[in-house]
Amino acid sequence: MHELSIIQSILDIIEEYAEEYRFSKVKSLKISFGRLSCIEPQVLEFTFEIQSSGTKAEGASLEFDIKPIIIHCFSCEKDVELEQYAAECPQCKGSEVLLAGGTEEIQLLEIDVD
Ligand SMILES: [Zn+2]
């Protein structure tokens, strides 16, 4: 399960920060990723709860910033946000489109500590 390794690397980062900045408890975390990155927020939350037990991040709340799917259309020169990926511009039905957002890798944006 790839959520496991994601959470593990986040916990590793937290441990490093905890040593460097000397905090003892994490209150909340903000994580961002693209909507097309195959990450299930619920699975991530569940995995985090289990894996963070006994670490400085135990009991911390997770906040997600999920980046929308955006395609750039070369016919109307616009960026359009989509609910689901399609290789067609919903406005002009043009097919000369480029995926411009939604595949962002997971990133730890903020850590709120005590
Ligand atoms: Zn278009």
How does pLDDT run across 14-28, given as a tens digit for each residue? Answer: 999 999 999 999 999
Q: Which domain holds residue 35?
A: 2-68+101-113
Is residue 21 situated within a structural domain? yes
Sign of CA dihedral 16, 29, 7, 47: positive
Is residue 92 situated within a structural domain? no
Question: 102: Cβ–Cβ under 8 A, 6 or more apart, which residues?
Answer: 34, 35, 36, 37, 67, 68, 69, 70, 85
Sheet holding 69-73, edge to edge: 78-82, 69-73, 97-101
Written as six digits, the tokens of 27 are 């209150």
Q: From the CA of 35, how far away is ligand 1's center (Å)?
A: 21
Q: From the CA of 65, how far away is ligand 1's center (Å)?
A: 27
Q: From the CA of 21, how far away is ligand 1's center (Å)?
A: 48
Is residue 84 situated within a structural domain? no
| Of 80, 43, 82, 38, residue with least CA distance to 62 | 43
Q: From the CA of 82, how far away is ligand 1's center (Å)?
A: 12
Q: From the CA of 71, how far away is ligand 1's center (Å)?
A: 9
Q: From the CA of 88, how far away is ligand 1's center (Å)?
A: 8
Neighbours of ion ligand 1 (CB under 5 A): 73, 75-76, 89, 91-92, 94
Is residue 61 situated within a structural domain? yes
* Ordered alpha helix ranges (H), 1-114: 2-21, 41-51
Q: From the CA of 92, how far away is ligand 1's center (Å)?
A: 4
Is residue 108 situated within a structural domain? yes
Is residue 77 situated within a structural domain? no
Count of structural domains within the chain: 1
Residue 36's CATH number: 3.30.2320.50
Residue type, 23: F
Is residue 82 situated within a structural domain? no
CA distances from 63 to 30, 38, 91 (A): 5, 17, 32
Is residue 51 situated within a structural domain? yes
Q: Are 24 and 106 in contact (CB under 8 A)?
A: no
pLDDT, residue 1, reads 58
pLDDT by residue (tens digit) across 63-103? 999 999 999 999 999 999 999 999 999 999 999 999 999 99
